[in-house]
């Protein structure tokens, strides 16, 4: 059954992090079911909210939700890696803030026909953008052994990458691998019993790897963050919620390259001239994690990390 329920992760912390001005221009790059976007929109008087998502279902749902709050919004179906072009088309040169709440939404994960979850038997799809020609099914049935091993290692950090990839290549010689459960079976067959008895689903990392490859998630994130930094007004904020170490590493590195982190030991040994040259500063000295209350309410918040950056000059 189709579900539109999505718990918006670190909602208050992230929206506070945007430091919203009621006449500002804000971009929600990952609109989803509009939880963060609604909260931004409700704080704007003469400002504008731009909501972006590559998933048509997210766009349709959020449009309706936002229209019940105010008319100060525009919704765009596109990949956030095209943020420069999206804003150019809207005749917007600079923005006062942007938020990324990365990864898959609960509806994408919970709708069996999207193929993101190892919990449902469905076609191996995993596309966030329904027009993307690349599916997980194509990858497992066509990528070479080496490429499968590479993505499983790089994007899944899966210890048994080679054995799983080898069994995929073997299996597809006799029968196409079509469903999530076909793949789960192969993964289970490729791991020793002691691994299967460990906590957590044995297919979790391979499903993560395929999802990242299908949606080119890490490259899109890096491209988009580098572009959006240049689009921020002075005083503008960039807020990012990441869900796994590969995403967080990209966010952390881009933030570090561009910012002065106030009050830590690193600053004490940096030449003051260099400190002056930084155009951004990290608002949170340490990464922000969900509260205990949120963790009780929503198990999917468990791996979330929030980082906030501000443009200084």
Ligand X SMILES: C[S@@+](CC[C@H](N)C(=O)[O-])C[C@H]1O[C@@H](n2cnc3c(N)ncnc32)[C@H](O)[C@@H]1O
Residue nearer to ligand X on the CB measure, 54 or 163 = 54
The single residue listed with the structure tokens 């580098």 is: 226
Residue nearer to ligand X on the CB measure, 56 or 264 = 56
73: contact with ligand X by CB under 6 A? no
Residue of the chain from 4, 79, 180, 205 that contacts ligand X (CB under 6 A): 79
* Cα–Cα distance measured from residue 261 to residue 256, given in angstroms and rounded to the nearest whole number: 8
220: contact with ligand X by CB under 6 A? yes
The single residue listed with the structure tokens 């999917």 is: 300
128: contact with ligand X by CB under 6 A? yes
58: contact with ligand X by CB under 6 A? yes
Q: Comparing C-alpha atoms, which of 105, 108, 129, 97 is closest to residue 28?
A: 97
35: contact with ligand X by CB under 6 A? yes
Residue of the chain from 17, 32, 47, 202 that contacts ligand X (CB under 6 A): 32
Residue of the chain from 55, 111, 213, 294 that contacts ligand X (CB under 6 A): 55
Residue of the chain from 20, 26, 44, 101 that contacts ligand X (CB under 6 A): 101
Residue of the chain from 103, 115, 156, 236 that contacts ligand X (CB under 6 A): 103
Q: Do the Cβ atoms of 174 and 160 come closer than 8 Å?
A: no
Q: Which two tokens stand for residue 284?
A: 């949170």
Span of 47-55, 153-161, 187-195, 264-272 interacting with ligand X by CB under 6 A: 47-55
Residue of the chain from 17, 20, 54, 126 that contacts ligand X (CB under 6 A): 54
Span of 28-36, 142-150, 268-276, 284-292 interacting with ligand X by CB under 6 A: 28-36
Please list the residues that pair with 212 across neighbouring strands.
Answer: none
Residue of the chain from 20, 44, 52, 228 that contacts ligand X (CB under 6 A): 52
Helices (H) and strands (E) in the chain, counts: 16, 8
Q: Comparing C-alpha atoms, which of 194, 154, 181, 149 is closest to residue 167?
A: 149
Q: Do the Cβ atoms of 127 and 103 come closer than 8 Å?
A: no
Q: Do the Cβ atoms of 99 and 237 come closer than 8 Å?
A: no
DSSP string computed for 102-141? -S--HHHHH-GGG---TTS--BS---SSTT-S--HHHHHH
Smallest separation (angstroms) from ligand X to the CB of 141: 24
Other CB atoms within 10 Å distance of the CB of residue 32: 25
Span of 78-86, 87-95, 118-126, 269-277 interacting with ligand X by CB under 6 A: 78-86
36: contact with ligand X by CB under 6 A? yes
Residue nearer to ligand X on the CB measure, 163 or 224 = 224
Residue of the chain from 10, 20, 53, 251 that contacts ligand X (CB under 6 A): 53
* Cα–Cα distance measured from residue 129 to residue 132, given in angstroms and rounded to the nearest whole number: 5
Residue nearer to ligand X on the CB measure, 34 or 47 = 34
Q: Which two tokens stand for residue 106?
A: 């609960």
117: contact with ligand X by CB under 6 A? no
Q: Tell me if residue 244 falls in helix, strand or coil.
A: coil
Q: Tell me if residue 71 falls in helix, strand or coil.
A: coil
111: contact with ligand X by CB under 6 A? no
* Cα–Cα distance measured from residue 160 to residue 162, given in angstroms and rounded to the nearest whole number: 6
Smallest separation (angstroms) from ligand X to the CB of 34: 5
Could you say which residues in the range 276-305 bind ligand X, by CB under 6 A? none
Q: Which residues bind ligand X (CB under 6 A)?
A: 6, 8, 30, 32-36, 52-55, 58, 79-81, 101, 103, 105, 128, 220
């Amino acid at each position: 059954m189709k579900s539109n329920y999505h718990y918006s992760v670190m909602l208050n912390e992230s929206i506070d992090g945007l430091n919203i001005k009621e006449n500002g221009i804000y971009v929600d790059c990952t609109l989803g079911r509009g939880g963060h976007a609604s909260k931004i929109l409700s704080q704007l008087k003469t400002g504008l909210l731009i909501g972006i998502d590559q998933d048509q279902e997210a766009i349709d749902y959020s449009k309706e939700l936002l229209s019940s709050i105010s008319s100060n919004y525009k919704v765009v179906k596109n990949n956030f890696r095209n943020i420069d072009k999206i804003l150019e088309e809207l005749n917007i040169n600079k923005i006062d803030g942007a938020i990324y709440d990365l990864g898959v939404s609960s509806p994408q994960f919970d709708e069996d026909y999207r193929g993101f979850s190892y919990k449902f038997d469905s076609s191996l799809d995993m596309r966030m953008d329904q027009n993307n020609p690349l599916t997980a099914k194509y990858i497992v049935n066509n990528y070479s052994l080496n490429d499968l091993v590479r993505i499983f290692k790089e994007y899944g950090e899966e210890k048994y990458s080679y054995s799983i990839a080898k069994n995929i290549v073997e299996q597809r010689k006799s029968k196409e691998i079509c469903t999530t459960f076909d793949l789960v079976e192969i993964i289970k067959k490729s791991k020793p019993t002691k691994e299967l008895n460990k906590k957590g689903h044995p297919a979790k990392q391979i499903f993560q790897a395929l999802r990242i490859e299908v949606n080119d998630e890490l490259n899109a994130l890096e491209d988009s963050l580098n572009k959006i930094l240049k689009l921020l007004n002075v005083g503008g904020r960039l807020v990012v919620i990441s869900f796994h170490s590969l995403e967080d590493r990209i966010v952390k590195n881009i933030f570090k390259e561009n910012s002065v982190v106030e009050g830590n030991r690193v600053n004490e040994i940096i030449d003051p001239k260099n400190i002056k040259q930084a155009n951004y500063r990290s608002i949170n000295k340490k990464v922000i994690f969900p509260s205990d209350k949120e963790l009780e309410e929503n198990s999917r918040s468990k791996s979330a990390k929030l980082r906030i950056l501000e443009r200084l000059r």
